[in-house]
Amino acid sequence: MQKLVEIASGVSGGTLSASEVVEEYLKRISARESEIHAFNLVTADQARHDAGKIDNDVKAGKKVGALAGVPIALKDNMCTRGVETTCSSKILQGWKPPYDATVVTKLRNAGAVIVGKTNLDEFAMGSSTENSAFGPTRNPHDISRVPGGSSGGSAAAVAAGFAAASLGSDTGGSIRQPAALCGVVGVKPTYGTVSRYGLVAFASSLDQIGPFASDVRDAATLLETISGHDPMDSTSIPQPALSLVSVLDQGVKGMRIGRVTDLPEGCEPDVLERLEAAFDALRSAGATIVDVKLPSLQYCLTAYYLIAPAEASSNLARYDGVRYGNRVDAADLNSMYAATREAGFGEEVKRRIMLGTYALSAGYFDAYYGKALKVRRLISDDFARAYQSVDTILTPTSPSVAFKFGSKTDNPLAMYLCDVFTIPTNLAGHPAMSVPFGVGADSMPVGIQVLASTLGEQVMFKVAAELERAS
């Protein structure tokens, strides 16, 4: 399977035909998609059309973008004009946005060829893609196992070779955890580096869009393209696109790598073994390992599961059947709202809306949402202290390899624990990425998480590149 950078340089250099490339990917999709179900929608015709246009532009000597001809898949919570965007929810089934998300515009301008919209946990709420209203996605390494979530479809699409790269969104680990479970690279950048305009909001102060790719260089290239200030997003950091590819070969000599000594329990031994191997690899490459403590880590799950549902309960109130989406008619307005949302939302979404509404309601605000915001400050301070003595931190991405379908669906809390290592960086707004590093139980992929401080992407990618070289 080709790398993103190879496709882009080949197509723009005229040595590769974008139409032939996309045909190859569409063939792989035909062969295995019914088994994997990575997509809600494969946009084959449009992809062929776009690829053909790229080829014509190249032949005509016109300038093409940095992702020319590269087949990319998009998580189905990013608005694509005129193309169905469902968030894997019945309430938005059939909805075609009248506008493109900023990242979609950037991809199109870069000449990328969008092959389809990928499956996710409904409204990005979940860690296994089992909460999709349209059926789960299966892990390409073992179809009896979940691909992770919520961006399960985007992770699986890259793992199965359905796209050269894909975009996902990460609120509590929804890029990194499926990346780890599917054996691909997944990056959550610093909050504010990639525009959220056109990303269907789950938790506004936590959501970020990021890339999935089969290697670190591809991920870096894609992230460079989609990052940079956007005036349509008030939380967008006022600085230009990230510059990452140029540092990938700089190595980790002299770097201080943090090992968290008070990591929450529950990590499987096979995963911990891979983490140790990762530390060894970096040590061999000239880095120093330094112990750090993050005492607030153990409270992050609570803070997250109060803050995220609170914001989500407000963000999802707009799904009321008035202006778009599927409505269930009733004799009066209130009944219409209730019937529409009852029919349109799945169980996990309802649960989080309920939790969030409760956490914000009069009399409970200070005890729940108010307190959670303070815990958020604590973890941010913990990280600030830690980064005084280290440049980066390594943790497992997921406590275990991909689990079997249905094994965690009975107890919501058990599912929430999948995100115990990824949540802290969302709360702090820091970047983190998952890099495949060997296999664990049942030969399933294991991902190692590399964390960095605010706007520390270059450090993070240097470490990731080193791990990749060693894996």
Partner 1 sequence: MAEKISQETVIKVSRLARLSLTTDEAEKMTAQLAGMLEHFRDIDALDLADVEPMTQPYPLKNVLREDVIAPSLDRDEVLGQAPTAESGRFRVPPTIGFDV
Partner 2 sequence: MSEVAALPNGWQLIVGLEVHVELATKTKMFSASANRFGDEPNTNIDPVTLGLPGALPVLNKHAIELAMRIGLALNCKVQPCTFHRKNYFYPDLPKAFQITQYDHPLNVDGHLMLPGDVRIGIERAHLEEDTGKSTHFGGASGRIHGSDYSLIDFNRAGVPLVEIVSRPDIRTSEQARQYVAELRSILLAVGASDAKMEEGSMRCDVNVSVHKPGTPFGTRCEIKNVNSIRSVGRAIDYESRRQVDLIESGGTIRQETRHWDDSTGRTETLRTKEDADDYRYFLEPDLVPLVPDQSWIDAVRAALPILPAARRQALAELCGVDKDGESAIVVVERGQDDYVREVISAGGDARRAVIYVQQAFAEQGASPKVSAKDLAALTVLERDSKVTSTQAKTLLTDLIEAGGGDVAAMATKRGFEALDTSAVEAMVDAAIAAEAGAWQKYCNGEEKALGALVGAIMKSSKGKADGKVITALLQAKRP
Is residue 144 among the annotated active site residues? Answer: no
Is residue 400 among the annotated active site residues? Answer: no
Is 93 an interacting residue with respect to partner 2 (CB under 8 A)?
no
Is residue 75 among the annotated active site residues? Answer: yes
> Of partner 1, partner 2, none, which one does residue 384 interact with (CB within 5 to 8 Å by kind)?
none
9, 205, 302, 407: residue in contact with partner 2 (rule CB under 8 A): 205
Residues 212-241 binding partner 1 (CB under 8 A) are 231, 234-235, 237-238
Catalytic one of 174, 227, 313, 398: 174
Pick the stretch among 202-210, 375-383, 418-426, 436-444 that binds partner 2 (CB under 8 A): 202-210
10, 69, 71, 97: residue in contact with partner 2 (rule CB under 8 A): 97
Q: Nearest approach, Cβ of 67 to partner 1 (angstroms)?
A: 27
Contact between 370 and 306 under an 8 Å Cβ cutoff? The reply is no
Q: Could you give the 3-state DSSP secondary structure of residue 7?
A: helix
From first CA to last CA, the distance across the chain in angstroms is 19
Structure tokens at 369: 């949402």
Phi then psi for residue 293, to 5 deg, are: -115, 140
Q: Nearest approach, Cβ of 461 to partner 2 (angstroms)?
A: 28
User: Does residue 42 come out as left (phi exceeding 0), alpha (psi in the -120 to 50 range) or beta?
Assistant: beta
Structure tokens at 352: 């989080």
The whole-angstrom separation of Cα 93 and Cα 79 is 13
Pick the stretch among 114-122, 135-143, 232-240, 455-463 that binds partner 2 (CB under 8 A): 232-240
The whole-angstrom separation of Cα 351 and Cα 240 is 39
Residues 233-272 binding partner 2 (CB under 8 A) are 233-235
Is 54 an interacting residue with respect to partner 1 (CB under 8 A)?
no
**Which positions from 110 to 139 touch partner 2 by CB under 8 A, shown as an x/- string?**
------------------------------
- Strand pairing class (432-439; 185-188): antiparallel
50, 170, 224, 320: residue in contact with partner 2 (rule CB under 8 A): 320
Work out the angle at residue 41's Cα, subtended by the Cα atoms of residues 206 and 50, and round it to the nearest 5 degrees.
Answer: 95
> Of partner 2, partner 1, none, which one does residue 201 interact with (CB within 5 to 8 Å by kind)?
partner 2
156, 375, 463, 464: residue in contact with partner 1 (rule CB under 8 A): 375
DSSP-H helix ranges across 237-370: 269-284, 300-315, 333-344, 347-360
Classify residue 63 by burial, with Cβ atoms within 10 Å: 0-12, 13-18, 19+.
Answer: exposed
The whole-angstrom separation of Cα 64 and Cα 57 is 7
Give the distance from CA 379 to its chain's centroid: 22
Write down the residue that tokens 């190595």 correspond to: 251
Segment holding 377, helix H or strand E = helix 371-386
Q: Nearest approach, Cβ of 287 to partner 1 (angstroms)?
A: 27
Pick the stretch among 201-209, 215-223, 248-256, 261-269 that binds partner 2 (CB under 8 A): 201-209
**Interface with partner 2: number of residues (CB under 8 A):** 43
Q: Which residues are catalytic, by number? A: 75, 150, 174
The residues of the shown chain that bind partner 2, judged by CB under 8 A, are: 77-79, 85, 87, 92, 95, 97-99, 101, 196-201, 203-205, 231-235, 310-311, 314, 317-318, 320, 322-324, 333-334, 337, 357, 360-362, 365, 369
